[in-house]
Structures are given as C-alpha cells and as structure tokens.
Amino acid sequence: MINKASISVLVLCLLPFLVLTAQQSIIVLSTNGSGGIVYQSTQNQTQRVFPGLRLAPQGKLIVDMGRRVNLVADGKKITISGPDEVDMSAIALRAENSRNTTFVSRFWNFISSSMTNTGSADDVEKYHRKHITNTKAGIAGFTDRDYPIQLPFYFGGEVGDQDLNLSWTALEGASAYRVTLLKVKEQTAVLAATTRTNHLRISTAELALEPGTAYQLSVTASQGEEVVSSPPVSFHYSPEGAAEITASIREKRAYQLLEPEEQPLYLILALEEENYFAAAQTAYVELLADDPNNRFYRQFYAAFLARMNDPEAAKAMIEPNPSKE
C-alpha cells in the first residue's frame, strides 16, 4: 500500500536528482523578446536563445540593448540585461557566489530539471523510468507484483475539498470498472461507483469525509474470469491545507520578487513538497486552461505527470499540440 509516508518518498527521491541535473548546464528560463539574444560557442558558432535551451558552460552570451534573459545556473536565477557580452564561466561563477534560501534553491533546481527533462517525448519517457525506478526502490512492497490498472500518484497524499478527476490505465476487455474509496481504519466504504470508462469525477466535498482521516482509493475490473485491481492509493483528508500553504507562500518576499509566469510554479512546487499532489495537478490544469499552447507550462506539467506515474499524459504535453496547428 502506498501510504502518506511512502508517497513522501517521491519528493525525497526527486530533490537530489534535481540538484544533479541543474548543475550539468545553464538553462534559459525566459527572455523579453524573440530576438536580440544569442549564444556564441567557443568555435564562434551562434545560436538564437529561447526558453528551455540548455547552454554549455563554455562560450558567451550576447544580449542586445533592451533585451533581457533569465537563466538558471547552480540552483540560482541569474538575469542578464543588454547591452552585454558575458562569458558563460562568469555566469557560472556569479551563480556559485550567489546565495538563496533553501526553498528558493530547490525552486530553481525544479525549474531547471523540469525544462531539461521534457525537451521531447523520449526525454519524458527516460525521466519517468528513472524517477519510478528511484520511487520503487524507496517504497517497500511497491515492486512485489505487477498491476494491470494504475492510478497516478497525484490522487494520494493530502487532499482537500476539491473535485478529483480520477483516471487510470484502460484494461483491454474490461466492460466496467469498480471505484472504491475506503475509510482505512474501519475498512468501510464511503464510495463505491461503477463506470464503463476509465475515468470518474468525484467531489471530496460531497462525501462528508473526516478531516485528518486516512482513506484508500482503488479500482477493480473483470478481465475474463479474473478480477484485477490497481494498487491502492492512500490520502489524508485535509480540507484547508492547500489554501493555507498558498496563502502563506504569497506573503513571502521571494514569491513577490518572481516574474508573473514564475509565481504559479513556485506555488505548485510548495504544494507538491507538502504532498498536496491533487491540488498541484489542478493548478497545472488551470494554468493550461488559460493558455493551452504555453510550452513553458506544458513542460512543467509533463515533468509533474512523469513523476506522478502518468507517462502517456506527460508525453502528450510535449508532443505537437493539434490545436496550435
């Protein structure tokens, strides 16, 4: 069973990997225009700079008058304003000598890792495999058997008053699925629903759940004469927790100094670190509802979905978006 303590391993496994990835290159976070900023290699080859680009620690960055580029290096955000020509080694040294709070450093590492690992659908698949391998190593019993039905991890952790758009891997030959939500201590069902599709929307606010209480979610289906199930996903009902975290973060100066497009991601990382995975997933969905073709946000959502064991949805975020064509 994946309980609250076990799910915390997801974040614990994630953070060292973020630090390692962030230190391998300098990542372009954002620019204030589509031109006027180029990277020049040591062979004097130039390349236009755009968000998500990974820059080698050698060469130089050339920024024209009126242009600005935000970079992430060594867990630090570095801003270069034009006109300027800066050696990449100087940027790395500046990052090394800068100081951040622990959470801010983790945030920039999170930014760097998300962009680095979602450049293509293949990158996302590799990231998912590596992350799930680390997760399985940290959760006792997780590898004991193969489950033909998988629920993403973001239905576990801490869950408040919100709609849960449950989804799971479709099972070939299944005519219906049974979704069960149990109160863990008494093993009594508070929800038992049947659906013919591999998704179901439920409202935790309408289920009269008890604050601070553990619940267990699972899906079963018949495949021929055999009944198969998903691994159970456990969560604690914390109706006000996500809102309290969000309100607290918005008061912090570090948050207020961020660019407008960075602030939602700062909030989401705080939610994920506190195990409010469902709230984090909802926040990503809301970001993309306002701007579905925003590559910046699609990459971060893809990285989140890969960590949450939903690789196909993650790759769909990176593959060409039909609505944009």
Encode pLDDT of 173-212 as tens digits: 888 999 999 999 999 999 999 999 999 999 998 998 999 9
**304 part of a folded domain:** no
Query: Are residues 75 and 151 both part of a single domain?
Result: no
DSSP label at residue 217: E
pLDDT in tens, 307-319: 999 999 999 999 8
**250 part of a folded domain:** no
Q: Which of 72-76, 143-147, 192-196, 296-300 has the lowest mean pLDDT?
A: 143-147
**73 part of a folded domain:** yes
Mean pLDDT, residues 225-233:
88
For β-strands 188-195 and 199-203, DSSP reports them as: unpaired
Query: Are residues 175 and 72 both part of a single domain?
Result: no
Provide the angle, in degrees to the nearest 10, between the axes of the packed helices 311-318 and 295-307: 170
**208 part of a folded domain:** yes
Token duo for residue 268: 């989401």
Token duo for residue 293: 């073709």
Most confident of 42-46, 51-55, 215-219: 215-219
Domain span at 45: 4-116
Are 54 and 39 in contact by the 8 Å Cβ rule? The answer is: no
Q: CA angle, corner 160, sides to 154 and 162, nearest 5?
A: 80
pLDDT in tens, 103-152: 888 888 888 888 888 988 999 999 998 888 776 554 444 444 578 888 99
Q: CA angle, corner 246, sides to 241 and 249, nearest 5?
A: 125
Question: What total number of domains does the chain contain?
Answer: 2
Q: Which of 70-79, 81-90, 193-202 has the lowest mean pLDDT?
A: 70-79
> Which residues have CB under 8 Å from 36's CB, separation 6+?
63, 64, 65, 66, 67, 82
**253 part of a folded domain:** no
Residue 307: the pLDDT is 93
**282 part of a folded domain:** no
Domain final position from 237, 264, 295:
237
